[in-house]
Every structure is written in C-alpha cells, then in structure tokens.
Structure 1
Amino acid sequence: MMAAPGADILRVGMVSSVGLSAEVTSAAVRAGIDRFQQSSVLDRRFNPLVMALVATPDLPPLAPALEGIAGLTARQIRMLRLAGPALRACLEDAPPGPAAVLLAGPEAFPGGRPAPVGPVFLEHLAAQAGVKLDLARSRVFPAGRAGVFLALAAALEGLSARRYDRVVVGGVDTLLDLYLLGTLDLEERLRAAGIFDGFIPGEGAAFLLLARPGSGRTPLSRLVSVGTAEEEGHRYTTAAPYRGEGLDAALKTAFAAAPGGPVRTVYAGFNGESFFAKEWGVAIARHKKRIAEDFVIEHPADCVGDAGAALGAMLVGLAAMSLAEGRRPSRCLVWAPSDLAARGAAILDRE
C-alpha cells in the first residue's frame, strides 16, 4: 500500500515508563535510562515479573465522567490514563476546533478475545483528556506495534485529499493485563530467569500532530513516506513459513515514495526477541543501497520495554524529536512489526 506525499510533524505528546512527556522520554532514551523493575505480578514459577511501567501515582485518575461505566476493563482504564495526558500535550497550542484522531491499539490476541480498543474508546479518550475530538472522522487501528503505520498511511491519504487540515496519529497500550501476561509467560516470551530470548513488558502512549506542508507552523520534522505490508508467516500462523518478507515489502513501498539521499538513522522496532531479527536481516540486505554504511541504529525498547501498540508511535515521535534537535543524522527510517501480520515503516527527514 503506497501512501500519499508527506506531511509535517508539528508536535509530539508522550507518556512512557521513563518520562511523563515527550521531552523527558527523549532525553531518557538518549541517556540509556530504563525503569525495569520487579512488579507485583508473579510468573508461573512464582517469581516477580520484571516490567517497564509508569508509576501508578504519576497517572491522572480516571475522569469522573467515566467512573462506573459498565464494561470498562482494568486494561482499558489504564490505557485511558496513559493516553489522556499524552493526547492533551500533543494538542497544546493546536488550532481551535475538534481534531480527528487515528489511533493504533492492541491486536486481538489469538484465542478469540476481542481487541481491547474499539471506536467507543475514542469517546472515552476525549472525556479522559478533556479535549474535543472529531469522532466522525476518527478511527482505531487494532494492529499492535505496526498499527501506527497503518494510521500514518491513512493520515497522509486524508491530508492529501484535503479531508483533514490537521490530524492526530497515535498509539496506546499496556501489557499490564493478567491474562495477556499469563499467556506470554506460558509461551516463554517474557524475559525471566533462564529465558534470555524474551522481552520486558511495558506500556505507554504517544501522539503526533500532522499537517500538510506549508501550514505556516515550523515542523519538528517531515514525514516523507509510509509503507505497510503483511507478513504471511507471522508468529501465530501455521499457514505459511516465516520468510521475513513483510518488513521488506513495507520498506520497498516507503523507499519508493521517498526519493533522495540514504537513510542515516534507523529507529528499530526490536523488542528483545530474536524472532524479528530475521526480518530486519532480509530488509537491510535488500535495501542496502538506500541505507548508509555507517548508519546509526536506535532501539528504544531497551529503555521503555515492549510497549505494544504504543511502541511504533513512540519510535516515530522519538525520531521526529531527534531530527528537530539535530541529535541524529538525517534522514531516519522507522520500522516496527506486530505479533500478527502487520508490518510498517516510515521515512522522516528534516524540513
């Protein structure tokens, strides 16, 4: 899927285990700081799980308008508390009027459980953040880590078609869910004693305010292109072998829409598992002409853990801020894979 020509990234809002703002998170990641700590959740061996969580007292309480709503799960409530301040920060000083939000959320985990974020979540998010949203033109992408790239592609198409003057793209997730953690523990996917090929469960939220180039505001950086694809042989399928070609296809689309110099910085969606290394190996081998030999690679999950559907949005936000601050060489490639089929990549540049 090829997205329409680029957009300006005007502002970033973020909440992570290492910072309650985009600026603090960016500084912490640059410094290599993490907040990996033993949690109160025990694994099947009765050892505390190490997680990367935002301290609960640092999160705002659930908005009074949402208290007592039937059906809100603990995971949904925590996601609202994570997303509210990040969305509000993203919309600070934004032009008046309700904004459309294209939001990446968690995947529907195999086993028949529904995705925890649907359209009604956006209504709840507006109440939690205390902002007005254009709900009719907003949308949820329940596709995990790569979901933000599906949202970015939709945003670029909508900006190009002038359905949006501006649009917010983001992602939110928390892996602090007992059923989810229990399933991942049984699959031996979590980092623990004796398990090194695993990840640290995390959480967070990140939002980006996008506008068409020439909006009159100085951007942090330029979103040049987006590519999305599907990996037929993803982790939870037996229908096809895992060849690692989904990420290659996403990069092919992103590079095709981004003529110009080579990538000098890569923000990688590694989460600590070796599973996704094959895809990156295939992709870099096939696109080495578009990536500088001395490129710098960043993998922020080393600091924030695997923040699920928030991770892709955090990567894009961190890349945009690093370009704005001149701390990383331009241009940037950002990519992330989901546990299921979705794969995505984006090219960012300075103005």
Structure 2
Amino acid sequence: MNARRRGADAMAIIGLGLCTPLGLTARATQVEMAAGTVRFFETEVLDSAGEPIRASVLPLLEPELTRTERMAALAVTALQEALKGTASLGIERLPLLLALPEAGSGASFDLKALLKALNDASGPVRLESSESTLISEGRAGFFRALTEASRFLSSRKASWVLVGGVDSMCDRDSLAHHAHMGRSLGPSTRDGTLPGEGAGFLLLASPLTQGQRGLAPLGWIVGYSLSHEPHCFLQRKPNLAEGLSDAFRQLRTHPVVGARRVDHVLSCQTGENFWAQEFNYSYLRNAPLMPEPLTMALIAASLGDVGAAAGPIQAGSALHHLKRQAPAEEDPTRVLVYGCADAGQVGACVIEGDS
C-alpha cells in the first residue's frame, strides 16, 4: 500500500524498544506475550486482608527502589534499544513525547531525575521535551503523544520523533497505595487488578522521510483518535462508554481506517468489570470497525496494569501480530490499540503492516 492510500497523517514506525518483566528487549517481550507467559510474584507489601500483594515485577530491580528509580531503569533500557541505528540515520535531535503516570496512580516520582536519566542514556542524540510533550494521562497518554507526534511531522518541525511511555506501580509505596484504594486482586477483591511496570519507545518518521531514506518500516500508524469519558472510573458513576465509543467512531469514519475492519484488538486496560462493560458498549456501537469474529487481547493478562507504559507495549505487541498474521487478501493486516485513563482520557490508534 502506498503512502497516498495510507493518508497524509500516517506515521512510519522505524524503531522499537521495550523493557518489561517478560523481557529486556522488544523481541523478548513480544514473544513472551504472544506465548501467554506471565511472571507475577508475591511482594513484601500486604493488602487489607493481610495477604501479600501479587505484582508483575522485573526481578532485576531491587524491591527497595523508589518509583522514580524503577521507571528510570526501565525507560533507559527501552530507550537505548529504540535508538539503535540512529547514528546511521544521522539523527542528532529528537522531540520526545512521553506518556507518564496520571495523578493519584501511586507514589510520586521525580520527573527531572527521569528526564536526566534518559538524556544521559541517549548518547549523541539530543532529546527535546517541553511541558506540552510530557503527558501525564496514564494509559491514554500514548495516544495523545501520537497526536502531538503527527503535528511535529506534518508541520515538518522535525523529520523524526520519539514517542514513549513509562510507568511502575511496583515500588513499595505504590503497592501500598494500590492496596489502600482496594484495587489489589485477591481473595477479598475479586474485581481488582495486579500492579505492573514497563517502558516502551517508538521511533517515528513521516511518509516523506521514510520514502526519501528508503527505509523499511516495522509498521505504520494509519489513524488515531482522542476523546474523554464524562463518567470515568474515578467518579464511579454508571459508565455509558461515551468516550470510548466516540474514539472508535472517529476511527470508523476515518477516510483510510474506516474503509475496512481491523483484524485484531489490543486493550491497554486492567481487566476490571468497569472497563469490560465500557468496551462491550463501544464495540456494539462501532461493529463495522471491529474484527469479525472478534479477536482481542488484554495487556493485563500478561503484565498486569502497566499504566502509562501500556500503549507503547501494546503497539509493540501489534507489530509482532502483524508479522505472524499474513494478510488474507492484498490489504495489509490491521490492529486496533486503545487505552483509557482512570480520570477519563481516552485514546485509540490503528497499526498496519508494511505490505
């Protein structure tokens, strides 16, 4: 499929880096997620019933590390993988659009220390960020970052952008906060979730840059959408799925994305009933966009709730799915990825194979 058929707002995925409890590289994480591997461990923190909280933690990180230290270690590892090959591309500066934890999701963290760790690890590439490119919207942050990335590329402010997300809910203070909020899955909380952690980065280029350089992309982001849920998780009101339905509607009516169904759906959500009901309503309202029959995977099944890291990790999972699934027809395979923050921000995107 040529760039014209993909649309002017398409973005080529040139590089990928992931770091999760399932693997320190994108390849390891992708393969383990596809295989259904899980690594949930009992932590030293107890829930309200006196039971150890289970979480998906990276064993290489010591339990006493703070949220900032865990996030920095995860992010640096993923960043260095995503930036491999940038020297040969002549990239000297990169706008950084980073999804971060939403307020109230766990312990506080030191943003300046996190950014310093990333800049120290970026080598000769200078990472450029600002208040508008650091997005504290949890699971929905990655999708807002994609929107901002498209503006950078389409306006030609930059030829390349780096989009990522990092989060950890596995430090002791965040685990205790999670238990205090009554969200720790266990004998006394059946409708809960398991804390997780991870980081991911995507190196993106415009169709023009990709074509001029003759690069073979890992895949394409062909559409994205943003919305807001007025009856969000934190308000505990009846969820009418207005925000997610609207995000899916935007993609269904998109001139490129809406031309045919996606082949698979990947959710950034936690598995709690609130989110399952939300998807069911939104799916029924946008059935022409969805796979038939419906095939779907939840990041929480592999990694628990990884918050702001869910978007880039699921994007990496989508790229792996594209490799494994040969298109049934001439059209390349498409995967829908979506994420919703507890405070109501909603985002979605469609990732397409390069064929």
1:100 to 95, 104, 127: 95
Structure 2: distance between partners of 1:325 and 1:58:
35
Structure 2: distance between partners of 1:57 and 1:148:
24
Question: Which range moves more in the overlay, 41-50 or 132-141?
Answer: 132-141
**Aligned counterpart, 1:91:** 83
Conserved? CA contact 1:145–1:311, under 8 Å: yes
**Residues 1:251 and 2:255 aligned together:** no
**Aligned counterpart, 1:223:** 221
Unmatched tracts of structure 2, length 5 or more: 1-6
Aligned length: 333
Matched letter for residue 49 of structure 1: I
Structure 1: distance between partners of 2:231 and 2:112:
29
Residues 88-146 of structure 1, C-alpha deviations (whole Å, 9 max, x = no match): 10010022312221000000118xx9963646632332124545333256821010011
Structure 2: distance between partners of 1:171 and 1:212:
20
Change (3 A) 1:327 1:193: farther
Shift of 1:260: 2.3
Structure 2: distance between partners of 1:255 and 1:131:
41
Structure 2: distance between partners of 1:210 and 1:321:
17
TM-score, structure 2 normalization: 0.87
Structure 2: distance between partners of 1:119 and 1:328:
44
Q: Counterparts in 2 of 1:143-292, with a 5 A limit?
A: 143-214=137-208, 215=210, 216-237=214-235, 241-257=238-254, 258-292=257-291
Structure 2: distance between partners of 1:115 and 1:141:
15
Change (3 A) 1:300 1:83: same
Give percent identity, aligned residues only.
30
2:47 to 24, 38, 43: 43
Change (3 A) 1:117 1:335: farther
Structure 1: distance between partners of 2:285 and 2:112:
38
Cα RMSD of the aligned pairs, angstroms, is: 2.5
Change (3 A) 1:120 1:256: farther
TM-score, structure 1 normalization: 0.87
**Aligned counterpart, 1:6:** 10
Question: Which range moves more in the overlay, 18-27 or 293-302?
Answer: 293-302
Matched letter for residue 11 of structure 1: G
Shift of 1:236: 1.6
Shift of 1:38: 0.8
Give the ranges of 4+ consecutive aligned residues of structure 1 lying more than 6 Å apart after TM superposition.
none
Shift of 1:274: 1.0
**Aligned counterpart, 1:69:** none
**Aligned counterpart, 2:27:** 23
Structure 2: distance between partners of 1:242 and 1:267:
21
Structure 1: distance between partners of 2:197 and 2:327:
25
**Residues 1:347 and 2:339 aligned together:** no
Structure 2: distance between partners of 1:131 and 1:309:
27
Unmatched tracts of structure 1, length 5 or more: 60-72
Conserved? CA contact 2:258–2:289, under 8 Å: no
Partner-residue secondary structure (3-state), 1:107: coil
